[in-house]
Amino acid sequence: MPVMGPFAGETILVFDSKFAIVLREDLAVWQKLNVTAFLTSGIVAQSPGIIGEPYRDRAGNLYNPLSIQPVIVLATDGQTLGAIQRRALERGVTTSLYVEEMFATGHDVANRAVFAEFAPEDAKVVGIALRAEKKLVDKITKGARMHA
């Protein structure tokens, strides 16, 4: 739903949903960036309508479209990530999930093979992403805080 923004003539979108990524706080920076990219791709695949129109600069160069919705990046410990995964499963929210063992693989087939070796109770979750109704995302991600 468009509403007027704080700047003259600015229109902003207000979303009923929230797009959140939660990362395990003890990851190396390169791991956080890698996991964020992978998890984002899963949400985009689930919700292709989240992608806007292509960008074009003043010179006419064309660039890829980006998400129309802001992405909230949170951080927490491994135990809380496990609880977030359980809450999402209990509420039927489909998520993107990245487990620690995926860092040792080099391609999608190997990622899915190592992922399949774990159940929710023994997975070493390093990142989870979800997009759902705002209040539901807030309940699921309880215990995580804004990534610093």
Percent of the chain whose pLDDT exceeds 70: 91
68-115: pLDDT as tens digits:
999 999 999 999 999 999 999 999 999 999 999 999 999 999 999 999
Fold of 17-53+63-146: Bit1 (3.40.1490)
Predicted pLDDT of residue 101: 97
- Where are the domains positioned within the chain? 17-53+63-146
pLDDT range class, residue 1, cuts 50, 70, 90: very low
- Give mean pLDDT, residues 7-31: 86
State pLDDT tens for residues 106-141: 999 999 999 999 999 999 999 999 999 999 999 999
Q: Which two tokens stand for residue 127?
A: 């990142």
Q: pTM of the predicted model, to two decimals?
A: 0.89
